[in-house]
Amino acid sequence: MAVLDALWLPIMGLYCVVLLFFLCIGFNLLYLVVVAATRPPRHEDPGPPTDFPFVTVQLPIYNELYVVERLIRAACELDWPRDRLQIQVLDDSTDETQFVTSRLVREFRSSGLNIEHVRRDDRVGFKAGALDVGLQSAQGEFIAIFDADFIPPGEFLRRTIPYFTYERVGFVQARWGHLNSSYSVLTEVQSVIIDAHFLVDQVARNRGGYFMNFNGTAGVWRREAIGDSGGWQHDTLAEDLDLSYRAQLRGWEAVYLPDLVAYAELPVTVSAYRCQQRRWATGSFACALKLLPTVMRSELSLGVKLQATLHLFGYVSHLCLLLMFLLQPFLLYYSQRIPVVPTGPSVFSLWLIVSTIPAMAPGIYLLYAQARATGRPLQRLPYILGASVLGAGIMITVVGAMTRVLDGRRPAFERTPKYGIARASDSWEGKRYPVGVDSILAIEIMLATFTTATLSYAAMLKNWGSFFYCGYFLIGLFMIIYLSLMQMSATALPRALASSPSGNNEP
């Protein structure tokens, strides 16, 4: 006990730092909601195109057997003059996807479409490398990019290209929609989180004059801006975020169109979702370490620098969440041994603000986004609550990704498998590209056990604030653990049957 008493000051210092970070995040979420709700677009709609510049559409793919045909056909149906359009399928596939792609390219080329199948001998630079190789033979003044799981709407180029009449516009980004949000609880929760990014973050950053990011797909670049900003670089796993920040540092402007929606497939397994979040967290954190020194040395306003810092360090909130979990037993112990918080009305009011803002802000943020996305925020409330606790479930995955960046290990690219899931009746089971259950599940089970013990300790002390805090986020851990175990059972039985001697016998 004497050791714990001696650690009171450093532990409380760490707790105050974490709480201060959450307070900043909470206030900023509320600020972004206000900006998104009140600020008008910074670029007026230029209307239908009066000129038709040459556009190259790049489709980077890698082993996308279930979605590649859907993607190519949608790209070939874009409403743009055929003599001003080039389509590049940047195909790094090592499976049958390459043969499906080759057949489709021949089919559309025979109909007179300018489409090419670009293959490489290696995958150097992964997606960034493929985009860079494609750029070498691209004919377009503007470069549109769509990932394999997207379906670009036919009007996409007619809605985006006119904005490049503004001379300093470097890229135009559209909103992501969801093909399969109703597939499961996991996809519903993901849709809530993505809607918040596209209907609050992106709107507020763009209209508030802050840096926003190109989302890697469903957008168009001015080719000149790519070259002027240093081109595609693959020293991070977030080549899109990296290039968009470098472009804005060079004075290029971004345009975000929340009313133009390109629909995409959400990950349907928890392992695929982990892969996606690990890649995004790794890339975002690596970009923060790479770009923030330049941002801070620039002549940008203090507000722009602050928003860039909060943006690039967004995934640090998961680390703070983990620290807050681990600190709970100590805080409970000290609450009985040491008078941590002075009494008094003014102190109580301050403490109420400090503790309430971080707790309420994410809910308001998600609720507003769902009001914009669906017009039915109250009906979406269960998924909003699910989205708010999912951060706890995924925090070990995110912290592990950040650790890889800090220890200097070159991050490996992890693709998010797509299965062509568009309806509730579709199934991923038995299809290729399975992603095994992550070994990090064991750590999550240990953390859930730790949190359950903390929950019991809080109940014993009748500290209901800590009790509900731990219980709320324990739900997120249980969600991820449960979905992981369900995925394990869904894949283990078919494999066992397939490997058994009688598994191939006819009845």
Structure confidence at residue 496 (pLDDT): 45
DSSP assigned state of 426: -
Q: Is 498 inside any structural domain?
A: no
Which residue in 234, 214, 241 sits closest to 315, CA to CA?
241
Rounded-to-10 torsion of CA 66, 67, 68, 69: 90
Q: Distance of alpha carbon 175 from its chain centroid, rounded?
A: 13
CA distance 240 to 233: 9
Range of the domain at 268: 1-43+166-491
Q: Is 14 inside any structural domain?
A: yes
Sign of dihedral through CA atoms 45, 46, 51, 53? negative
Summarize the chain as % helix, strand, coil (round to 5). 60, 10, 30
Instruction: Give the chain's domain count.
Output: 1
A 10 A CB-CB count for 341 gives 10
Structure confidence at residue 173 (pLDDT): 98
CA distance 473 to 199: 25
Q: Is 15 inside any structural domain?
A: yes
Could you confirm whether 240 is annotated as catalytic? yes
Q: Is 241 inside any structural domain?
A: yes
Structure confidence at residue 257 (pLDDT): 98
Q: Is 318 inside any structural domain?
A: yes
What's phi and psi for 405, nearest 5 deg?
A: -70, -45
Pairs from 13-22 (Cβ < 8 Å, separation ≥ 24): 14/323, 14/327, 15/324, 15/327, 15/331, 18/320, 18/323, 18/324, 18/327, 19/354, 19/358, 21/316, 21/317, 21/320, 22/317, 22/320, 22/324, 22/358
DSSP reduced 3-state for 208: coil
Catalytic residue among 91, 92, 201, 242: 92
CB 291 within 8 A of CB 242: yes
Average pLDDT per 10 consecutive residues for the chain, totaling 507 residues: 76 88 91 97 94 97 95 97 97 95 97 96 92 96 97 97 97 97 94 97 98 97 98 93 98 98 94 91 95 97 97 93 89 75 48 66 95 94 92 90 82 80 78 77 92 92 85 89 83 49 41
Structure confidence at residue 91 (pLDDT): 97
Structure confidence at residue 186 (pLDDT): 93
CB 163 within 8 A of CB 250: no
Structure confidence at residue 380 (pLDDT): 95
Q: Is 427 inside any structural domain?
A: yes
Cα–Cα distances in angstroms (integers) from residue 192 to residues 82, 108, 171, 187, 266, in the given order: 37, 37, 25, 9, 11
Catalytic residue among 91, 132, 201, 240: 240
CB 277 within 8 A of CB 235: no
CA angle 100, 101, 102 (to 5 degrees): 95
CB 312 within 8 A of CB 292: yes
CB 210 within 8 A of CB 295: no
Token digits for 148? Answer: 């394999």
Q: Is 157 inside any structural domain?
A: no
Sign of dihedral through CA atoms 489, 492, 497, 498? positive
A 10 A CB-CB count for 367 gives 19
CB 47 within 8 A of CB 162: yes
Q: Is 120 inside any structural domain?
A: no
